Every structure is written in C-alpha cells, then in structure tokens.
Chains A and B, each alone.
Chain A
Amino acid sequence: MTQTGHVPGAGTSAALATERARKEMLRDARIERRGGPRPRIGADALCEALLMQGSNIIWGYPGGVILPLYDVLVDHPGLRHILVRHEQAAAHAADGFARASGKVGVCLGTSGPGATNLVTGIGTSMLDSVPVVAITGNVPGVLLGKDAFQEIDITGITLPMTKHNYLIRSADEIPHAIAEAFHIARSGRPGPVHVDITKDALMGETTAPHPTQAEVEAGLPGYRPKLDGHARQIKVLADAIAASKRPVILAGHGILIAQAERELLELARKAQIPVAWTLLGIGVIDESDPLAYGYMGMHGWKHVNRAIQSADLLIGIGMRYDDRVTGNVRTFAPSATIVHVDIDPAEIGKNVVADIPIVGDAKHVLEALIPLTPSVAPAARADYFAELATWRTESESSAWHGSGGWRDGVLSADFVVERIAEGSNHDANLTADVGQNQMWVARYGGFKRANSHLSSGGLGTMGFALPAAMGAAVAVPEKTSWAIAGDGGFQMTLQELATIVQERIPVKIALMDNKKLGMIRQWQEIVYAGNYHSEQLAGPDYLKLCDAYGLPAWKVSKPEEVDAAVAAALAVDGPALIWFEIAERQNVYPMMPAGKGLSDLIDKWGDDGEDVTEGSSGPRVDPTDPNAPKGGSK
C-alpha cells in the first residue's frame, strides 16, 4: 500500500485537489471569527448581495454544503432566515411573498434532496411568471460529477423550468451572479432564477465588488425585454376599439405585474369596455366596479364566457390564451378580432392566432393606447351593457349559485368563501390551493385589490396554499393572509403548521374538508361516468392536530356558525385554523369539459332532471346512478 492509497490517478494535481475537497467536506469548516476580523468569503458576498437587492427574508432549510452560509448569517443581521419544515414550502413561501408584494422572493436549500424538494415550487413560479431567486448549495467544484454525497445535477434539473440558472464555482462570481439573477427574475416577463453555488465557492475568500445595475444590464446583450408596443399596432388597436360594437377586455396577470390596474380602468371607462379576467388576472379591477364583468374560463362565470363568445373584439392583455381560458380554440370567441398584448413575444401566436399582436409591457401599451382611444358615451353601448346585465342576472340565478349556505343539507363551500371574504372586509390576501377550493375562491372571493388573490394557476400545485399564504403574511404584514385549502392540498404541506407557530406568522387557514379529492370526484362523476377511484380521502381529527401544533382551531359545519368562527380566527393574534366540514358532493359549476368550448358549459346541479346545459356538452350524469349527487336544497 502506497501513501496515495486507492486514489484514482494518484499523484496528479487533479487527484490531490479532489482529496483536499473531500477532506474539506468532512471536516468542521467553522470559520474562525473569535479574536479579530475574519476574511470576507463567498457566503458573505451572497448575504451582502441579497441585502443590496432589498431582500431581507430568506425561506430556507440547512444542509451539509450550504452550512457555510448559515455560519455567516449571524454577521448579516439584516437578513431574516425563516426555517421551514420542507424545502417545497420554502419555494412556495418565496413565491407567495413575491406574488403578494411584487418583490423578488428568495428560497434556499442544500444540495441533492434539498434542491430537488425546491423543484415543485420553482416550477410553480415558472408557469405563473413569479419572480423568485432560488439558491442551492452544491458539493465542492472538484467533486461535481463524482456522485458525491447529496450531489445531484440540479442545474440540469432546473434548466427547463427556470428563466435562467447558474452554477457558481468561485466566490468571485457570486456578487455578479446574484445581481444578474435578481435583474432577470424581476424584469420583462418575470420568473424564477436558480443559483447553484458550490461549497468551496461559498467558503472561498473574495474581494469581488458588487456590480451596478448598469453593469448588470450591459453584461446581458442577449436579454433586452421590449417594453413599448409598436406604435402602428397600437393605432390599429385604437381604431379597432372605435369600430367595435361588442368589445371585451380579457385581463391577465401581466397587468398586475406591470402595475397597470389604473390604466386598465381608464381604458375600460374611456371606451366603455367590460372587463373579464383570467384566473391570475383576479384583482386587476375591483369586482364591484360597474365595468368589472367577471372571471372567465373553464370554471368561469357563464355570463362572462358568453360575453367572450359573442364579442366582436377581444382584447387580451398580459395573458397567454392558455387552454383553461380558450377551451377548444377552433370555437373560441368565433366572431371576435383577437388582440394579444403581452411582453413575451413567444406567447403571441403560440396558442391562438392574434389578429392584432402587440409585444410590450401592459402599462406601456395601455399608456400609449389610451390617448388614441375614442371616448365612448355610456349611452352608445346601452344595449350591449343591458344585454350583459341580463346575462349576469340569469347566470347568478342559476341553481348552482347562491346556495344560501346549504348543499345537500350540508355547509356549502361557495358560501364559506363568500363569508371569509366578507368577514375580512374584502381586503385580505386569499391564497387558494388547487382543485375545487381554488375555483370557489376564484369565483366567490369578491376581490377588490391587486395582488390579493394568490393561486397556482399554471402548474396547479396542490399544497400551495399554506406555504404561499405564509409568504404573503410575511411580505404584507398589514393585510390578513388566508390560506383556503381543500383537505387534499392541506395534507400535502401541513408540516408548515410548525413553521407558522414557531415564527408566529399569522396565517388564517380555512380548511375546506369534504373528505374527498373533490375535483377528482367531480371529473370522475362527469367525465368518467361515475367510475370513482381514489377520491375518498381520510384525514386526521384536525382539532387534535392543531392542538398538537399549538394552533387555535375551530370546527364549523353549519352556515350560521361561519361568521363567528371567521371573526374568532381573525381576532387571534397569530395563526389560526377553521375546519369547515363542507358538502361532500358539491360540484363547481359551470364547468367546461376539457376539449370543449366556452359555449359548451355544463351548468347543472345534481340530478333533478332539468337539463340547463347550454350548447352541446360532455357526458351527463346518469340520473339512475345511485352514486350521483342529490339535488341541492335551496
């Protein structure tokens, strides 16, 4: 046995470096700070860079290779690290933080499983264009590719689901990479940026300065988001508005991102155009505004979908005509000239053919459009708005709407959402989970304010509500933060109850417990002919669960108990939970079956025999099926 032992390529400088790195991984790497100043290392540069970007909250979870950062956190007291219970929650919390505040959210994990646990949250931010910087540690540079302990090719994993990502192998690169990551995350069409940093980069000494914003932008010749729309196209749009008889604005998330709510309202008022919105567009306009027409799409209001189907001009702004919006594209808005305003050129023409495409930031385009748009007197559109009002009345008098609190003799979900919104003066941030609860929040949340609705729209991530509401609560402490989750999604991330208790994050949780995977059950009922499978969901006694976590909780199963419980939860100085036992078989109506069009809404409650569907619809509930839902009591 020689001195070099079993080292591959023993004696070469590469082998020696690998060996040094291996020892470094194993030894206690605590930086000597007692007795005088210590050198600035990569981890310090990272903390400084975060603070310089205005980020003082990190959602994270420690682990082996990221420990050098935790070792210096004490020296950067401006940074608050919030310890979650699972990295997925860190990513969702950073996402919720960003959605509620418009600032960049930051999450942190170690290499390997810490990093892969962040992935679901990063994907959620990607699909919804949310600015998040996700930071992970990785094994020392020389061990990369050696399948070292907790090594995984995480930049390879996040590459297709981030706006950009980095593998940083030297401390000197950290200041520039972090500044660039923030710039990319928040500008143009926002999105998550992942920065993977090796342990030796975190530990290496560095004097590298932080770049200015101008230096960052100059270093990105391949990234110049286009903000101003094409002047001629904007004129074409103004002329189209002047010529239209039945215009509809379809407002999306891009308006919130661009903070163009005021301009949207100005345009709508000046040209007398009703405003419909997508799921992520909720909050672009006060829902009680006379020009606010409603939420559209697969589970949108029937009258809103009807308006879109009868529009002669559909002005999509800051949205992407995704399949939950259009349904069958061939039958979508058949009479409309389609306008598509979006900052991302790749969205134009991707899902629908745009007759008037405009690439630009929603605020810039609206600012240029408004002066060119003719003022329309309300009287000129009186017939149009009268028809829209009739449709709205019809839609709101449908059997599935206005339950008065009861479905099947049990508490109804839509009522609960309405009362939560009302009890919070329509000023709280409501974070939905995914599934039926998400659609109830979207339809019945009564939103009045931008960024007050948080929902995983694109990726549809169950388990989103609690951690994202946690992020929103920290980001906007002056507003109440509700997490409205079904029992399915809640059970995916309920470990964060410990986080909100430990960190005293005042999230109010509305657990909508139907003891089912409700949307799965609904699809199996309607689309899969009642062939139910895996939709029954057992859960714990949630009062005992909350008691175990030290969280005040109430159980509510009657409509008349709802308001008092909401008031009680709001009165708690800290987190609280209300366990709503809701109807087990309540469906979200109307519903557009996948592959169908906006005119093909299934629009009935129960099996009372009256077919109130409009147009051709998908498979029907078999009235003879003993498993079919019972008619709703009204």
Chain B
Amino acid sequence: MSGAPNSAAGAALARALPGSGDARRHLIVAIVNNRPGVLNRVASLMRARNFNIESLAVSVTERSDTSRMTLTILGDEVHVEQATKQLYKLIDVLKVEDVTDSAIVEHELALIKVRVTSKSRPELVSLAEMHHGRVVDLGDDAVIVEIVGEPGDVDRVVELLREFGIKELVRTGSVVMARGSGSIEEQVKR
C-alpha cells in the first residue's frame, strides 16, 4: 500500500501512533439542538475525552430550534478530528465543521474596564478610538472600552490599555462565519 506508514516495517517496529502531528489552534463550529442540557453534553464530552476548550461561544441561530457553538481547541489534526467526530456522535449535534483552514471571518468582542484619571482619560479615549475601540461607559475614575475584531487585534488593544491599569476584562471568545455564500446551517440535513 502506498501511503501505508508501516509497510514491511519488519524489525523497525515503529507503527505511527494516532495524533503525532503539530498542535495548533483549531476553530470548530457546531450546530446543535437548542434544548436544555446540550451545552452540558458538549462540555462533558470534551472534558471526558480530554480535549481542552480554549474558548466557547453559544447563541441561538436564525432558527429558534437550533443553537450555534464556536469552539477553539488546541491540538494536532488527529486530536481535533477525533474531537469533531465525538461531537458529531452526540444526538443533539446536527453538524460539526473544523473551519480553521477555511476562508472565514473570525471576530470576538471584549469589554475592558480601565482605570483613569482626569489627566489620562483623554489619552485613553483617543487611543481606543484609534484602534477601532468604542468607549461605552465613561466614569470619573474608570471607562469601559469595547473592542470588536480578530483575537489578535483584541490582544493588541488589551496590551496597550494595560499600562493604564485594567480593572476588569471580559472576552466573548471567537465567533466565526464562512466568507461567501456558503452556510453551515444550511448544510444540516433535516
């Protein structure tokens, strides 16, 4: 067999183990039934099978009976493929796709509460605006900056704001959508 890793390995005895590739961040989209306990099923599966969820975003879709989950997982190709196959075995999971290498828009939203003084406030506001951030709450000694963008963009803004003193930070985790006319939701076979 061409491509067989072990043909005539003889005494070499080195059958490849599954999952020996390089680990990287994967983006998984799952369309699931919008029912109580489905999030628990997904989370429980990932825990039980030793997959680590880096981020998870869930919301209802265009159809009220389905929800969409975006998971980011760190792992090699085999590991992540195993995760997607196991996810798909859940009865409430209707469609799973690893979109890491697809043409996608990936965004997340962060709210960052930053300590300010009357002196630093104007500087902070202009810095935020320069980076497409939005000031959504303006107080005497704290402001909340909202930033929407690719995770790397969010990281950069967080770094910049860190010198002011971040009191609180919340990120939604990535949500993704394929570019073009393709729709994961439409691929669900009903």
**Cα distance, A597 to B12, chains bound together (Å):** 14
Residue B126 interfacial (CB < 8 Å):
no
Q: Judging by beta carbons under 8 Å apart, are A353 and B44 in contact?
A: no
B189 contact set on A, CB distance < 8 A = 221, 224
Residue A213 interfacial (CB < 8 Å):
no
Residue A344 interfacial (CB < 8 Å):
yes
Residue B190 interfacial (CB < 8 Å):
yes
Chain A, range 196-234, C-beta contacts under 8 Å to B: 220-224
Interface string of A100-125 (1 = CB under 8 A from B): 00000000000000000000000000
Most B CB contacts (10 A, CB to CB) among A155, A167, A240, A352 go to: A352
Q: Residue of B at shortest CB range from A354? A: B18
Given contacts A344-B89, A346-B82, contact A160 B45 (CB under 8 A): yes
Given contacts A240-B1, A346-B89, contact A337 B7 (CB under 8 A): yes
**Cα distance, A333 to B82, chains bound together (Å):** 23
Q: Judging by beta carbons under 8 Å apart, are B190 and A221 in contact?
A: yes
Residue B10 interfacial (CB < 8 Å):
yes
**Cα distance, A352 to B78, chains bound together (Å):** 11
**Cα distance, A223 to B189, chains bound together (Å):** 10
**Cα distance, A329 to B16, chains bound together (Å):** 8
Residue A80 interfacial (CB < 8 Å):
no
A-side interface residues, number (CB < 8 Å): 35
Q: Judging by beta carbons under 8 Å apart, are B82 and A334 in contact?
A: no
Interface string of B1-40 (1 = CB under 8 A from A): 1011111111111111110000000000000110001001
**Cα distance, A58 to B89, chains bound together (Å):** 28
Residue B176 interfacial (CB < 8 Å):
no
Q: Judging by beta carbons under 8 Å apart, are A334 and B89 in contact?
A: no
Residue B170 interfacial (CB < 8 Å):
no
**Cα distance, A224 to B90, chains bound together (Å):** 11
One of B52-60, B91-99, B134-142 contacting the partner: B91-99
Given contacts A349-B82, A355-B1, contact A330 B44 (CB under 8 A): no
Q: Residue of A at shortest CB range from B6? A: A334
Q: Judging by beta carbons under 8 Å apart, are A335 and B41 in contact?
A: no
Q: Judging by beta carbons under 8 Å apart, are B82 and A220 in contact?
A: no
Q: Judging by beta carbons under 8 Å apart, are B10 and A355 in contact?
A: no
Interface string of A153-181 (1 = CB under 8 A from B): 00110011001100100000000000000
Given contacts A159-B44, A337-B4, contact A222 B91 (CB under 8 A): yes
Point out the residue from A220, A221, A240, A330 that lies within 8 Å of B188, measured CB to CB: A221
B16 contact set on A, CB distance < 8 A = 353
Point out the residue from A160, A240, A336, A351 that lies within 8 Å of B18, measured CB to CB: A351
Please list 6 pairs of residues, one from A and one from B, whose beta carbons are closer than 8 Å in the complex, sorted by A's number. A184-B91, A329-B17, A335-B7, A349-B78, A353-B18, A356-B1
Interface residues of B (CB under 8 A from A): 1, 3-18, 32-33, 37, 40-41, 44-45, 48, 78, 81-82, 85-86, 88-95, 188-190
Top-4 shortest CB links A-B: A346-B85, A222-B94, A355-B4, A337-B1
